Amino acid sequence: MRNSKQTRRLNCLCIILVLLIGPVRFFLRGAESVTFNFLTFALFTAAAVIWIFQLQRRLLRPEIRKNLIWVGLLIILWMLLRTIKYVFTPKYSVAERYLWYLYYLPQTFLMLPMLFSVLQIGRPHDRPISRRWKLLYLPAAVIVVGILTNDLHQLAFRFPAGPENYGEEYTHGPLYFASMAWVIVLFVAMVAIVFRRCAVRDNRKKLWMPFVPLAVGLLCFASFFVMQNDGIISLYKVPEILCFVYAAFMECLILARLLPSNDSYDDLWNASSIGAGIMARDGSIRYSAAQKSRVTPEQVRTAEHEAVLLEDGSIALRSHPIRGGYGFWTEDVSEINRLNRELAETGDVLAEENAMLEAENKLAEDRVRMEQQDRLYSGIAGSVKAQLDGISALLDDLPEDEAAFEQTMKYACILNTYVKRRSNLLLLFHQNRKLHSTELRLAIAESLEYVRLYGVKAHGDFSGEAVLPGELLLAAYGLFEAALEAALPETDAVFLRLQIKDGALTLRMELNSPRVCLEKNAMAETIAALHGTLETALEEQTEYVCLTLPAGGAEA
């Protein structure tokens, strides 16, 4: 089906509004920054709002509609941050720098609702994508938080003269390149998914459409590299081009019918032979296919709650409320009625037996599932029992002194972080025996955050990543917590290095002035089962701990 005139007109209007930014920038180059930036924001926002309105009107699947509306809202947020940065904040101020950092929030998170929408291509309506895809929000959040805290570590942007002089000179760090790689990898993944899932032959003929905005974006960036600020890039800035390419790519997926939409209703009903239609709330039939049975508004409203039988019970009318009215359809149930009569005469006993067997099977399945869950949760509770008991003891005997109370609660947070993170690792391990080393890195990093909150200097250095047996990650995190709890509260500095190389895991810790040292035979059975080694030493009031777990873990 072709796209409706309204859709084509509104799409053209959106393109015109975005293209007007170039002439506005050209003719108002010497005007006040406030006027120019407000006009640019107004044009881009108007285009985004029109597009969001179109998404609300056209998209059939709620999850796709919600994802793409988030894309439009994040585009508006990106343009709003730019406008605030250039209009309301002094140049080279702290506020301007953090608004610059905030650009990476919409830029990073934009890719996820786009990817989730593309993953819906070719999937049945009743089979949403796996919830595990939502885990992609974690690395996105890490990237954004890392950039927002750039002043602390300068891993995204490095300022030789200090952050306060960021406008003079800066270079890009690894976190910046990670954010760029994030965008590129997800976009390439979306393109690959579009190619792979475009199974309908008619849709393949329109597969070129989503690549038109990509080609336009590549031409714009080529102009930037060739002509610097003399070409089209002087009229359209990189964020504007990126936002246009993102929205246009998703819109072209809709126009190519890769994402289902409800344009061209008239053509649908004229081409359909099913007995269906749409009725407005006032009772007028707006759309109706050729059908043998005529229906009344009262019958359509009644069919919302129960089937209305027409023509001596051979036709069943059903309806469902939609925005602005009702959708209704008819079904020929004469053959079903005949079969039902035969089944009613000969199948009562079989139905009862099947019902009993089904109930027994369901009870057995529920029993097995409950037993598995009980074992899993009991195992998790047993694994963190010492920490839970410690938290309970702290809360039962809270000091009255405010400073001591605060330190006690901070220590309880350290124990609670371990309980939460180890429980999460155990749940993931229950689902998949092998885990990515990122899970261990995130767990240790969060524990170190609360150690720093406790007042102890803490630093973690992480290198390498791989998919490892879950036993290795659980053992390493358990040993880390054991050494940490033994050293607190006297220790004043903790340094940690986690290295993943060739499938092997090495955890090194340095703890200055520990309360007590970690026992040399700590977790001996667990480490021996994993064919690992544990080395501890105390030199000049500094405890050194080195845990080595070879590749393969218990299989080594």
Q: What is the DSSP string of 104-163?
A: HHHHHHTHHHHHHHHTTTT--TT-PPPGGGGGGHHHHHHHHHHHHTHHHH-SSEE-TT-G
pLDDT band for 255, please (50, 70, 90 cuts).
confident
111 SS3 class:
helix
What topology does CATH give the domain 5-255? Rhopdopsin 7-helix transmembrane proteins (1.20.1070)
Amino acid, single-letter form, for residue 122? G
pLDDT of residue 88: 83
Using alpha carbons, select from 319, 270, 242, 391 the residue that is nearest to residue 2.
Answer: 270
Cis preceding-peptide flag for 489 (omega within 30 of 0): yes
- pLDDT over 50 (residue 79): yes
Mean local confidence (pLDDT), 72-95: 87
- Mean pLDDT lowest for which of 60-64, 200-204, 255-259? 200-204
| Tokens (6 digits) for 201 | 């032959």
Quote the percentage of the chain above a pLDDT of 90: 26
pLDDT of residue 347: 66
Question: Are the beta carbons of 526 and 475 closer than 8 angstroms?
Answer: yes
Mean per-residue pLDDT over the chain, rounded: 82
Higher local confidence (pLDDT), 225 or 85 = 85
How far is 96 from 101, CA to CA, in rounded Å?
9
Using alpha carbons, select from 502, 464, 495 the residue that is nearest to residue 480.
Answer: 495
Mean local confidence (pLDDT), 292-309: 77
Residues 6 or more apart whose CB falls under 8 angstroms from that of 406 comprise none
Higher local confidence (pLDDT), 40 or 175 = 175
| Tokens (6 digits) for 440 | 């261990």
Question: Are the beta carbons of 493 and 458 closer than 8 angstroms?
Answer: yes
Rounded (5°) CA angle 158-163-169:
55
pLDDT of residue 224: 61
Using alpha carbons, select from 250, 22, 24 the residue that is nearest to residue 115.
Answer: 250
Question: Are the beta carbons of 223 and 229 closer than 8 angstroms?
Answer: no
| Tokens (6 digits) for 510 | 């340095």
* pLDDT, tens only, 198-254: 644 555 566 777 778 777 777 776 666 666 555 555 677 778 888 888 888 888 888
57 SS3 class:
helix
Question: Are the beta carbons of 546 and 508 closer than 8 angstroms?
Answer: yes
Higher local confidence (pLDDT), 369 or 70 = 70
| Side-chain half-sphere CA neighbours of 361 within 13 A | 6
Question: Are the beta carbons of 58 and 263 closer than 8 angstroms?
Answer: yes
Rounded (5°) CA angle 378-382-388:
115
Q: How do the domains of the chain map onto residue ranges?
A: 5-255, 265-337, 347-376, 384-555
* pLDDT, tens only, 371-382: 666 676 677 777
pLDDT of residue 230: 57
* pLDDT, tens only, 444-496: 999 999 999 999 999 999 999 999 998 999 999 999 999 999 999 889 999 99
- Mean pLDDT lowest for which of 67-71, 256-260, 264-268, 395-399? 264-268
* pLDDT, tens only, 418-432: 999 999 999 998 888
| Side-chain half-sphere CA neighbours of 43 within 13 A | 22
pLDDT band for 123, please (50, 70, 90 cuts).
confident
The total of other beta-carbon atoms located within 10 Å of residue 410's CB is 17
Helix runs in 397-436, H state only = 402-431
pLDDT of residue 388: 86
pLDDT band for 542, please (50, 70, 90 cuts).
very high
| Side-chain half-sphere CA neighbours of 510 within 13 A | 12
What topology does CATH give the domain 384-555? Heat Shock Protein 90 (3.30.565)
- Mean pLDDT lowest for which of 14-18, 270-274, 484-488? 270-274
Higher local confidence (pLDDT), 270 or 543 = 543
pLDDT band for 187, please (50, 70, 90 cuts).
confident
pLDDT of residue 227: 60
pLDDT of residue 314: 73
- pLDDT over 50 (residue 42): yes
pLDDT of residue 553: 59
287 SS3 class:
strand
pLDDT of residue 310: 77
How far is 419 from 383, CA to CA, in rounded Å?
9
- pLDDT over 90 (residue 555): no
How far is 55 from 68, CA to CA, in rounded Å?
7
Mean local confidence (pLDDT), 136-162: 90
Burial of 71 (0-12, 13-18, 19+ CB in 10 A): buried
What topology does CATH give the domain 265-337? Profilin-like (3.40.1840)
Higher local confidence (pLDDT), 19 or 530 = 530
Rounded (5°) CA angle 349-350-351:
90
Pairing of strands 542-549, 457-463: unpaired
| Tokens (6 digits) for 408 | 């006690």
- Mean pLDDT lowest for which of 14-28, 371-385, 396-410? 371-385
Question: Are the beta carbons of 477 and 444 closer than 8 angstroms?
Answer: yes
How far is 110 from 76, CA to CA, in rounded Å?
11
- pLDDT over 80 (residue 89): yes
pLDDT of residue 458: 93
| Tokens (6 digits) for 478 | 């358990």
Question: Are the beta carbons of 58 and 262 closer than 8 angstroms?
Answer: yes
Question: Are the beta carbons of 425 and 443 closer than 8 angstroms?
Answer: yes
Using alpha carbons, select from 100, 23, 28, 114 the residue that is nearest to residue 71.
Answer: 114
